Amino acid sequence: MLNRVHRTVKFYANTEGRGNVKPENIDFAIHNKVLEKQEELLFDVNRFVNRQNRGLVNGALENTTEKIREKIQHYLEEKTVTVTDGTLTIPSEVKYFDTILVGETYVELCKNNMQFLLSKSEASTETPIGLKASNTIKISPSTVTEVNVSYLRNPIPAKWSYTIIDGVELYDPSKSDFKEIDIHSSEEDDLIIRVLQAFGINLKEKDLIDITQQMKNTEFNQEITN
């Protein structure tokens, strides 16, 4: 996906007027738009749930929320995290927590420190509680040594790796720093349009389909020639 996005962006953006867009600038624009898309997906879920609750969504759209959730689940991770001296250090990749479990029991997060202190004496492995503070979560009871966490992670920045030959950057995904675009595969076309907009190029979906087909035809003809 990453190479297709780069090639399409370069096709439109690399002109005499604009000059050649650097691969690093395209990667930067891609990551910003992936972050933008992720936030919109979370907003869309809440919006559709609210509309469903108010009876404003008809049968034709009944699966829309599930489709959005499927895209969000691309970022869903689960792992076991150690609790040290009653404190869980939040993994750096965590964007939003889904659940925190002690065994199969949910950790109830307190709203403030007062609620946490008042509830500590009643906390147990059957009724654990927590309090988020900066990049940590205090866990009670103190006997808890590990928790299972489910969370939405931050997208991994894409990296179009390349080798320079005769002054030209040639795509080289074998390099160790290569990173594919971290987004659900169904979002590719919309992502390309958004990245192009970041470079001041407004493209409609039909235009994108046409140019993609044109690029495929060119590749096919080159393969025949070679």
Please tell me the distance from the alpha carbon of residue 67 to that of residue 152, in angstroms, as a whole number.
Answer: 17
Contacts of 221 (CB under 8 A, 6+ apart): none
- pLDDT tens, position by position, 29-53: 999 999 999 888 877 666 655 554 5
- pLDDT tens, position by position, 131-150: 998 889 999 998 999 999 98
List beta partners, residue 80. 148
Residue 60 has pLDDT above 60, yes or no: no
Residue 206 has pLDDT above 70, yes or no: no
Is the pTM higher than 0.75? The answer reads: no
| H-run or E-run covering 216 | helix 205-225
For residue 57 the two structure tokens come to 């969504």
